[in-house]
Amino acid sequence: MAGQKAKDDISKLSFEEAIKELTKIVGQIEQGQIALQDSLQQYEKGMGLIKHCRTILQEAEKRIEKISASETKPPEESEEENKQGQDAEDLPFS
Amino acid sequence: MAKTAKIYTVSQINSLIKVALEEKLPPRLIVRGEISDWKHHTSGHCYFALKDETGVLPCVMWASSFKKIKFSPDDGMAVLAAGHIDVYTVGGKYQLYVDKLDPAGIGALQLAFEQMVGKLRGEGLFDEEHKKPLPPYPMRIGILTSESGAALHDITDSIRSRWPCAKLFLYPVPVQGEGAAKKIASALRDVNRRNKQLKLDVLIVGRGGGSLEDLWTFNEEILARAIFDSKIPVISAIGHEVDTTIADLVADARASTPTQAGIVAVPDVQEVRNHLTVMEQNLRNQLSAKIQHAAQEVRIILAGAVFRNPLSLVQDAEQQVDELTADLVESIKELMTEARQKVSDGYERVARIEPHRLLGQKTVELNDWQSRAKSGIGTVVHTRQMQLTAQANRLAALNPKSVLQRGYSITTNKKTGMLVKTTKDVRPGDEMITELADENLIESKVTKA
């Protein structure tokens, strides 16, 4: 169903991309250029984007990751490995 | 009689002068003058003179002392030279052996700073067009500062209070002293190289307040170039408001203090939340307005005359039908009147011809013709009959069978069916059939021919 795919696409967007898309949609509906049927669709999409943005803003990571010079680690490591691999200590800042 | 004058050697004189200078002058002094004849020898030692309006003082600065100074001395520069006076016996002159050189008027570091600013500005490192825009909603922020300094807390606290959803990453570096600039520069390059994995949106380079010496690290060329080369945008957050370092000038954005970094680097989450709410409201209102508008259009249509009194359409049509029917009836009436007229005209014309009289006339003629035809035909028939009878008689006369009446007969060969006309047509033993006038047949056999 198109709905689920659209939801997945939205959740992949970065905050910046989501806000940009949202601004575009609001602009479109305000202009009044689109048909009623499309307005409803865009409205749904816009609401989905707002929800996604709000979810991102909800995050509040307390810890600070420490990163320092990699000596011999190869560059194609994933970020997860980088976090754990080197001298990654989490500093207990609150 | 004159006393004999003492005769000195050159060495003795030089020694005496040396001792006299040592006695009279302080062991270390500072001299102000203007540099002239500056020569930086390949050996690293510097030879120059300090001069004022009246004269010059030759100077030497050994390489070991020279490399400590941060600015570039040159002819015409007013300086304060510290050192001791001694005699260069080989050259026969006294010199100031300079171990410390400072620009007069402003500090050495200040001068060095100004010289570096001029140089890098000339290369375009501070130009606006090279400054990268900061990401509006950074989610992953790298911080390069001392792990133990106050700056780290200032930076992280201010970011957290405004934009808690960002993830923070610390890359600990020294922020003053020998080699610090090099370490920070290499940290910047390292992070850039690894950014595919680290995915940092922006970097903050910071330290707390201090003297010009303390902050000197951030005026060094190697760090300036690393900041310039960074593909990730760099925010400098160094010292107090009044301090401007070269790092501040090269960076993509500048925070006047580490705390200010939070304001420069990230937006206010509450403002962003409000913005989202406003957009949500807009969407709702706009859609609601659209729906209202559409509903209104429907209402207008329903309110129209047609919907109020749908029969009106039919009634109009009925009226039209009535009118057309009336017209049609009229037309037909006219046509019929015309037709009737035509018929009666025709009738009159016919009557004028007096057909009964004509008819009578024609009947008489017809009868006349009929009798003539009858008699004519009778004549013809009679003639024809006579002709026929004549022909029939002639034909009968020719009938071969009538010959038979006269006593002749027809004989055929029974086997072949051929007429026996001569004796050659039969052989003894053949059977023959003879036809007589009454159509009776006689069968016979040939005994002799």
pLDDT tens for B219-228 read 999 999 999 9
Q: Which residues pair with B29 in a beta bridge?
A: B83
Question: Which residues of chain B does A26 touch, with a Cβ-Cβ cutoff of 8 Å?
Answer: 279, 282-283, 286
pLDDT of residue B197: 93
What's B430's DSSP letter? -
- Would you call B153 an interface residue with chain A, using a CB distance cutoff of 8 Å? yes
A91 CB neighbours in chain B (<8 A) are: 147, 170
Residue A3 has pLDDT above 80, yes or no: no
Q: What is the pLDDT of residue B160?
A: 94
pLDDT digit string (tens) for B124-169?
Answer: 999 999 999 999 999 999 999 999 989 999 999 999 999 999 999 9
pLDDT score, position A86: 42
pTM listed for this prediction:
0.60
- With pLDDT > 90 as the criterion, what percentage of chain B qualifies? 53
Minimum-distance CB partner of A57 among B143, B272, B282: B272
Query: Which has the higher per-residue pLDDT, B417 or A57?
Result: A57
Among A64, A76, A86, the strongest candidate for a mutation testing the B interface, having the largest count of B CBs within 10 A, is: A64
Chain B residues close to A40, C-beta within 8 Å: 287
Of the listed ranges A89-93, B41-45, B71-75, B282-286, the least confidently predicted one is A89-93
Same domain, B89 and B134: no
* CA-based nearest distance A30→chain B, Å: 6
Rounded distance between C-alpha atoms, residue B130 and residue B251, angstroms: 10
Report CA B1 to chain centroid distance, whole Å.
118
Who among A53, A67, A77 is closest to B276 (CB)?
A53
The pLDDT of residue B304 is: 78
Please identify, among B72, B105, B138, the residue that sits at the C-terminal boundary of a domain.
B105
Q: Provide the domain limits for residue B424.
A: 404-445
Question: Looking at the structure, do residues B200 and B129 belong to the same domain, yes or no?
Answer: yes
pLDDT of A2: 55
The number of folded domains in chain A is 1
> Which residue has better confidence, B380 or B203?
B203
Residue B193, chain A, CB below 8 Å: the answer is yes
Q: For residue B364, what pLDDT is reported?
A: 87
Judged against a pLDDT cut of 60, whether residue A75 lies above it is answered with no
Chain A residues contacting B via beta carbons under 8 Å: 14-16, 19, 22-23, 25-26, 29-30, 32, 36, 39-40, 43, 46-47, 50, 53-54, 56-61, 64-70, 75, 77-79, 82, 91, 93
| Chain centroid to CA B27 | 80
Same structural domain, B97 and B163: no
Q: For the residues B281-298, what does the mean pLDDT come to?
A: 87
Residue of A nearest to B287 (CA): A39
* pLDDT at residue B255 tops 90: yes
Size of interface A-B (CB pairs under 8 A): 105
Same domain, B120 and B257: yes
Long-range contacts of B105-112 (CB under 8 A, 24+ apart): B105/B78, B107/B212, B108/B69, B108/B70, B108/B71, B109/B70, B109/B71, B109/B212, B109/B213, B109/B216, B109/B219, B110/B212, B111/B70, B111/B71, B112/B70, B112/B71, B112/B72, B112/B219
Average pLDDT, chain B: 89
Indicate whether B393 belongs to any domain.
no
Residue of B171, B197, B294 with shortest CB distance to A36: B294
Alpha-carbon separation of residue B55 from B14, B58, B94, B124 (angstroms): 21, 10, 14, 42
How many Å apart are CA B203 and CA B234, to the nearest integer?
Answer: 5
pLDDT at A72 over 50: no
Residue in A65, A32, A75, A62 with CA at minimum distance from that of residue B194: A75
pLDDT in tens, A4-19: 776 778 788 899 999 9
Could you tell me if residue B415 is inside a domain?
yes
Task: Confirm whether A90 is domain-assigned.
Answer: no
Q: Kindly give, in sequence order, each residue whose CB lies less than 8 Å from that of residue B420, ignoring residues fewer than 6 positions away.
A: B411, B412, B413, B426, B432
Å from B243 to nearest chain A CA?
A: 28
B97 and B136 in a single domain? The answer is no
Which positions ≥6 away from A16 have C-beta within 8 Å? Answer: B135, B136, B137
* Residue among B147, B153, B273 whose CB faces A57 most closely: B273
> How far away is chain B from the Cα of A74, in angstroms, using its nearest Cα?
10
Strand partners for B364: none
The 10 Å Cβ neighbour count of residue B2 is 4
CB B290 to CB A36 under 8 A?
A: yes
In a domain, A94, yes or no: no
Instruction: Note whether B219 and B242 are within 8 A (CB).
Output: no
B281 located within any domain: no
Strands of B234-238's sheet in order across: A90-91, A64-66, B167-172, B140-145, B202-207, B234-238, B253-255
Segments forming the whole domain that contains residue A18: 2-58
DSSP 3-state assignment of B193?
A: helix
Q: Which residue of B has its CA nearest to A33?
A: B290
Residue B24 in any domain: the answer is yes
Contact B421, B443 (CB under 8 A): no
Same domain? For B16 and B59 the reply is: yes
Q: Is residue B206 part of a domain?
A: yes
CATH no. for residue B76?
2.40.50.140
Transcribe B219-232 into DSSP letters. Answer: G-HHHHHHHHH-SS
Residue B350 lies in a domain: no
Report pLDDT for A81: 42
Better pLDDT: B408 or B229: B229
Weakest-pLDDT range from A73-82, B2-11, B129-138, B274-283: A73-82
- Asked if the structure places residue B346 within a domain, the reply is no
- Within an 8 Å CB–CB cutoff, is residue B278 touching chain A? no
Higher pLDDT, B75 or A92: B75
For residue A62, the SS3 value is coil
Copy the structure tokens of residue B134: 């900061």
Query: In terms of CA atoms, which chain B residue is nearest residue A25?
Result: B283
Closest CA to A18 of B197, B272, B282: B272
Is the Cβ pair B282, A56 closer than 8 Å? no
pLDDT at residue A74 in the model? 46
- The tokens for A8 are 């997945």
pLDDT band at A88 (very low <50, low <70, confident <90, very high): very low
Per the domain annotation, does B338 fall within a domain?
no
Q: What is the tens place of the pLDDT at every residue in B301-359?
A: 888 766 777 777 788 888 889 899 989 999 999 999 999 999 989 888 888 888 888 88
Backbone phi, then psi, for A41, in 5-degree steps?
Answer: -65, -45
- Give the pLDDT of residue A73: 47
The answer to whether B199 contacts chain A (CB < 8 Å) is yes
Which one is predicted more confidently, A6 or B439?
B439
Inspect the interface and report whether the beta carbons of B171 and A77 lie closer than 8 Å: no
pLDDT band of A84, cuts 50, 70, 90:
very low
The reply to whether A81 falls in a domain is no
φ/ψ (deg, to 5) at B85: -90, 135
Single residue among B240, B267, B294 that ends a domain in this structure: B267
Read off φ and ψ for residue B26, nearest 5 degrees. Answer: -65, 150
Q: How many domains does chain B divide into?
A: 3
Within a 13 Å sphere around the CA of A29, how many CA atoms are in the beta-carbon half? 29
Provide, as residue numbers in chain A, all residues whose Cβ is less than 8 Å from the Cβ of B280: 46-47, 50
Residue A78's pLDDT is what?
42
Strands (DSSP E) found in B224-369:
234-238, 253-255
Same domain flag for B249 and B135: yes
Place of tokens 């035809």: B373
Among chain B residues, the shortest Cα distance to A74 is held by: B194
Helices (H) and strands (E) in chain A, counts: 4, 2
> Which residues of chain B are within 8 Å of residue A36 when distances are taken between CB atoms?
290-291, 294
How do beta strands B410-413 and B46-51 pair? unpaired
d(CA A15, CA B198): 18
Contact B166, B137 (CB under 8 A): no
Closest by CA position to B253, among listed B297, B210, B300, B202: B202
Using 50, 70 and 90 to split pLDDT, how confident is the model at B2?
A: low
Asked if B282 and A30 come within 8 Å (Cβ–Cβ), the reply is yes
Q: B88 and chain A: CB distance < 8 Å anywhere?
A: no
- Within 13 A of B28's CA, how many CA atoms are on the CB side? 6
Residue range B269-294: mean pLDDT, rounded? 90
> Could you say which of A15, A58, A66 has the minimum Cβ distance to residue B137?
A15
